[in-house]
Each structure stands twice: as structure tokens, then as C-alpha cells.
Structure 1
Amino acid sequence: MRWVTGLLLLLLIAPAYSQQRMNGEEFSENLKSKCRLRFDREIVEKIESAGIVESKVEGRNYYSAEFTLKIREARKEVEARVNVYCSAQGNSPETPKSSATPRDQIEQEDSGGRYYRHVAWQRNTSGINWKGQVAHIDALHGDGTVLPMNFYLACLRVEGNVCLQIDVQPPRTATGKVHSVIMRMIGRIGYFD
């Protein structure tokens, strides 16, 4: 019985050690090597000051990197939780560019469920060496209720199917300043072949 308890404990602890903790510069270099992306120095500094940085490879080919940015809005501090994901470079043959838009991905993820996210808008966007689209989700509908959201999904039309999910907390903070900070961050992302 003790070995079963020990095995369960090991299974719960092991995933925590598979995540890497690193500073903003290491994080940026890791993201560049895995997804061919790079954030500018201002964003890297903000990542360091937020202090929440982790990256992991899930499965063989899928890379995910998460960090939190703090945005000062009036007298309140807002958090933007950012998840960058892509097909990890070097682990598989060339991954073709995805033609799915952010709205398509959201609709596909929500299809068949009791809940769905409302896409308020979708726009073309671009950054350094890439073009793509970004969608803004403002609400979650289901079971007769509507919950506010402030969520962005940006997808780059590049090899590796690179996307960013940006979840602003608290969700009711959908102000112009928060929106401009998020869009500026997206526009400053560089993609390297």
C-alpha cells in the first residue's frame, strides 16, 4: 500500500519539475529556438518584473510558454496571462502554415459544447516578418448566463502554427489602454526563419 501512495505522490510531483523556471532573457531565447519568435526588450523586461515565467514541451512536437504581464490602468493593476504555443521546431518535419483564422479555431474548440465564446471582432495584424489575425472575445455564453471575458487570440500565418492566447484579468477591464498595450505587444513580436 505504501508503494502505491509513493507512486501517486511521484506522479503528482513529477510534472512540476518538468517545467523550467528562467529569467526573461533565457525565456526569450528559448522561445526563439522553439517557435522562432522574439519579444522586444521592453516586453522581456516586463516579463522579468512579473516574475511568472514557465515553458514546457508537451508531447513530442508541441511547445507552450506562459508568462504574466502587469498593466497599470488608472489606479488598478491588471494582469495579462499570455500563453504562446507552436509546433516545436526541429522535432518534426516542416509544419505548413495554418489557414485557420482565430475565429475558426475558437468556433472549432467550442463546437458541440454547452458553452461558447462570443467573438466581438477579428482583425488583420502584423509584426516583424509576419502577418496574421487577432480576435477579441468579450463574453462566455452558456446555461442561460453570460460571463464577461477579455481574451485575445492572435495567430501568425507562419510555419509552426504559432498562436498567442492573452487573457486579461479581471475580465471587466476592457479599456482602451489595456487594448493598446496588448495590440502593441502583438505588433512587436518578431518571427525569424
Structure 2
Amino acid sequence: MRLIACLLFFSLVAPAYSQQRMSGEAFSESLKSKCRLRFGDEIIEKIENAGIVESRIDGRDYISAEFTLKIREARKEAQARVDVYCSAQGSFREIKKSLATPREQIEQEDSGGRYYRHIAWQRNTAGINWKGQIAHVDALHGDGDVLPTNFYLVCLKVEGNLCLQIDVQPPRTAKRKVLLTVMKMISRIEHFE
């Protein structure tokens, strides 16, 4: 439950904070030191609009890191916004691994609201030194409307409750190449013990 509260806090409040913009390499090194996570070199080279925010909730430090990737497909450009959430390094031992799946986290966040996200699929995934699960949301339902979305929630089964949200815009232009780029990026994420 705290993880969900933390994710909601970061998605609603953290973007309002001013973030220090940094290069892909500086962002990667900072993320490695704070969340024990590293992206592959080809992704690091493409990182744009990167920033990291540190917050304190319930006496624990949390990290919210975000960056944008631009992916070209069939003469159209899609943009993938990637948000990474983790507890800061000093808090790892205090926070146990979350047992909630990405599907359960999305359903909990949507419960009781007018809107809900349709989860198209959930599956196991893995990267370098980690295993986890990924869920894909393809539509947002509410007030009689259905809006297309292209959203992924990836949760690593590691200490620190590390999750990534990947939101591809515009959702309709995101086809095969975008999906392959997103899945390749996920598979090459490295976690450090």
C-alpha cells in the first residue's frame, strides 16, 4: 500500500518540483548510485529531458527519475516517457520486496474511481541480475469514453520496490518498432545488488 501511495505521490506531486536536467551519462550514473539500476549504452545515448527528484515519505527517502526517448517509426515519431521509482539506497533493508503484481497495482490505483485502465496483458520479464513482471495497458475507460493508451508498468522483484512506468505518446502511432524498442530497453536494464 505504501508503494502505491508513493507512486501516486510521485506521479502527481513530483513533476511540480524543479528538476535538475542532466545528460544521459550523468543521469545513468546518478540512477545507478541511488537505485542500483543502469540502462544499456544505446538507451543512455538517446536519453533526453532527464531529471531526478528525491522525496521523503514516512521518514523514508524515495527517488523519482524520469527521461524521454524519441523513437522514429514509418516517418512518424513516438515519444516514450520513462519514470523510475525506488526507495533510496539507505532505505532498501527497511522495505521488503513487494508481492503485488503490476496488474494488482494498477487495479488498486484505479479502484473506486470514475476511470479505469484496461490491462491487455501481463507477463514475466527479466533483465541483467533481476526478474520481474510487466503489464501493458491499451485503453483508459471512463464516462462512456474509451481512450487509447500505450502504457507499461514493470516491477522488479528486488529490494527497494523498484518499478518503471513507460508511457508512449501518441499511443496510436506506436506499433512494432516502438514495442521492440521498449522491450529491448527493459531486457537490458541492469540491477546491482
* Contact 2:132/2:156, CA 8 A, preserved across alignment: yes
Task: Give 5+ residue unaligned stretches, structure 2.
Answer: 1-15
Larger Rg: 1
SS, match of residue 64 in structure 1 = strand
Runs (4 or more) in structure 1 with deviation over 3 Å come to 91-94
Query: Residue in 2 aligned with 1:57?
Result: 54
Question: Percent identity of the aligned residues?
Answer: 72
CA displacement at 1:27 relative to structure 2: 0.5
CA contact (8 A) 2:92 2:159 kept: no
Pairwise CA RMSD? 1.3
Asked if 1 retains the 8 angstrom alpha-carbon contact of 2:137 and 2:152, the reply is yes
Residue of structure 1 equivalent to 2:120: 120
TM-score (norm 1): 0.87
- Write the distance in 2 (CA, Å) between the matches of 1:190 and 1:95: 20
Q: Is the 8 A contact 1:82 1:166 kept in 2?
A: yes
Normalising by structure 2, what TM-score? 0.87
Q: Please give the per-residue CA displacement for 1:10-38, whole angstroms capped at 9, x wherever unaligned.
A: xxxx942xx22211111001111111100
Structure 1 unmatched ranges of 5 or more: 1-13
Instruction: Write the distance in 2 (CA, Å) between the matches of 1:192 and 1:105.
Output: 24
Deviation of 1:174 (Å): 3.6
Q: Give the count of matched residue pairs.
A: 175
Distance 1:65 1:88 in 2: 12
